Amino acid sequence: MAGIFKAYDIRGTYPDQIHPELAARIATATVEILGARRLVVGRDMRESGPAMRDAVVEAIVAAGCDVIDIGRCSTPMSYWAVNTLQADGGIMITASHNPARYNGAKICSRGAAPVSYDTGIAEIERRCAAPASPPAAQRGRIEQRDLVDDYQRWLLGFIGEIKPFTLAIDTGNGMIGEFLPRLFAKLPCKVVPLFWEPDGRFPNHEPDPLKPENMRDVQAAVRQHHADLGIAFDGDGDRVMFTDEHGEIVPSDRITALLAGHFLSRSPGSTIIYDLRSSWIVSDEIRRAGGVPMESRVGHSFIKQSMRKTGSVFAGELSGHFYFRDAFFTDNAELAMLTVLSLLSQRNQPVSQVLAPYNRYFATGELNFHVEDKEACLAKLQREFADAEVAHLDGVTLRYQDWWCNVRPSNTEPVLRLNLEAKSTALRDQMLARVEALLGPRSTAAH
């Protein structure tokens, strides 16, 4: 079990690290810590999914809790189901964007509030190592529901008119591809589909659009078909990334800045949350639109918690997670896509022109460094830049008037992650060289 109980979810290789027997223990513990009487269970397209689902469902009903089995779905759809069906929580069987040999679970409580390591996963881990609980005196019931049409009607209810764009969309053989034909049957767009057939072996590329190599197919399709926009989803459909009409990748903080203005026009003065890796342009645009910018630690559980506390209307992460108050403070990649299309329909400009005003700063993107002693390395960084304004919200952030950087330990891998931005390319490259000299050689670690 070592190492699979993570900051935001449970994830490991199948069947050595995670398997049906352990999945059953996780499900029983989830019923117990939530005091659940009714749980939603969904799964993605991984080949180990059916065996995991069977074990999870049996364990839940054996614990005396009812199951609403919504079948194959995206993670955002499972969150929606927990809220719409007023369940006590949900277990989404997925390993998100990880390679085919992985599986796991994302767990939420009532209202789709995330269960993180600090709010439940640590206790689930403890209970999984303890003797098994006896079955309940009365078994729960299983109800199977097909909610796709209802869910898509809910999504489409948020958006205005969408113009007949040409779109290249790569779902990486992940979960979203199963549902997009039904969604786009209701829209006037011409779509170039890439790898829409769900296939848990991921035969074309990993379903992780944050890695540039996984964006190459959609970039090529945009150029070949003269598309207006490229769109790529991750494996379980809670992250999305975009390209412009030239096939150039759009950093997700630019999308956060764009959507922040859109939501502030509807909810003036609202708080907009963004992760601390985001460009200065995000806080600039939030203030310009009359909103309140608020930095957050990286990770969906931290952002969702902050959104609930502040009533934030919208939040964005550099990794392609976009969160919506009207989606129960959860991340929803399909809603992000539809909102971007609706906004671009109003602007009547190519994506590159809409985003051009945001290209005022120059970032490195996220770089990984394999470091044996992370704490010593962070301390050395602070000594080297002792005159910086320092913050410790997540790792170490160093701020100057004309550049900043954040170095933080990964929650999932033995690496430090660096993001650095400056007011010129020359300064960016100069400061990157100084910081990189302290961190050592770059790693090729996945996100």
pLDDT at 414: 76
229-233 sheet: strands from edge to edge: 190-194, 166-170, 229-233, 240-243, 249-250
Active site residues: 96
Query: Which phi and psi angles does 350 have, rounded to 5°?
Result: -60, 155
Helices (H), 312-443: 333-347, 351-355, 374-384, 425-439
Tell me the CATH number of domain 362-439, given options 1.25.40.10, 3.20.20.70, 3.30.1360.20, 3.30.310.50: 3.30.310.50
**How many whole angstroms separate alpha carbon 29 and alpha carbon 212?**
38
In whole angstroms, give the CA distance from residue 155 to residue 260: 19
- Per CATH, 10-146 and 150-250 having the same topology is answered yes
| Torsions phi, psi for 241 (to 5 deg) | -130, 160
Q: What value, to the nearest 5°, has the Cα angle with vertex 396 and ends 392 and 402?
A: 110
> Which residues are 368's β-sheet partners?
417
Superfamily of domain 10-146: Alpha-D-Glucose-1,6-Bisphosphate, subunit A, domain 3 (3.40.120.10)
Tens of pLDDT along the chain (447 residues) come to 668 999 889 999 999 999 999 999 999 999 999 999 999 999 999 999 999 999 999 999 999 999 999 999 999 999 999 999 999 999 999 999 999 999 999 999 999 999 999 999 999 999 999 999 999 999 999 999 999 999 999 999 999 999 999 999 999 999 999 999 999 999 999 999 999 999 999 999 999 999 999 999 999 999 999 999 999 999 999 999 999 999 999 999 999 999 999 999 999 999 999 999 999 999 999 999 999 999 999 888 889 999 999 999 999 999 999 999 999 999 999 999 999 999 999 998 999 999 999 999 999 999 999 988 899 999 999 999 999 999 999 999 999 999 999 999 986 677 999 999 999 999 999 999 999 999 988 886 544
Which amino acid is present at 416? L
Which long-range CB contacts under 8 A does 265-273 form with residues at least 24 apart? 265/289, 266/313, 267/313, 270/311, 270/312, 270/313, 270/314, 271/310, 271/311, 271/312, 271/313, 272/312, 272/313, 272/314, 272/315, 273/303, 273/306, 273/307, 273/310, 273/312, 273/314, 273/315, 273/316, 273/323
What is the distance between the alpha carbons of residues 51 and 43, in angstroms, rounded to a whole number? Answer: 11
Euclidean distance between CA atoms 64 and 138, whole angstroms:
6
pTM: 0.95
Q: What's 119's DSSP letter?
A: I
Residue with tokens 């072996």, as numbered in its chain: 201
Return the CATH superfamily for domain 150-250.
Alpha-D-Glucose-1,6-Bisphosphate, subunit A, domain 3 (3.40.120.10)
What letter would DSSP give residue 177? G
| Phi then psi dihedrals of residue 303, to 5 deg | -70, -45
- How many C-beta atoms lie closer than 10 Å to residue 382's C-beta? 14
For the chain, what are the domain ranges? 10-146, 150-250, 362-439
Query: What are the Cα distances from residue 213, in Å, to 48, 86, 205?
Result: 26, 40, 8
In this structure, the number of other CB atoms found within 10 A of the CB of residue 137 comes to 6
175: closest CA among 94, 56, 104? Answer: 94
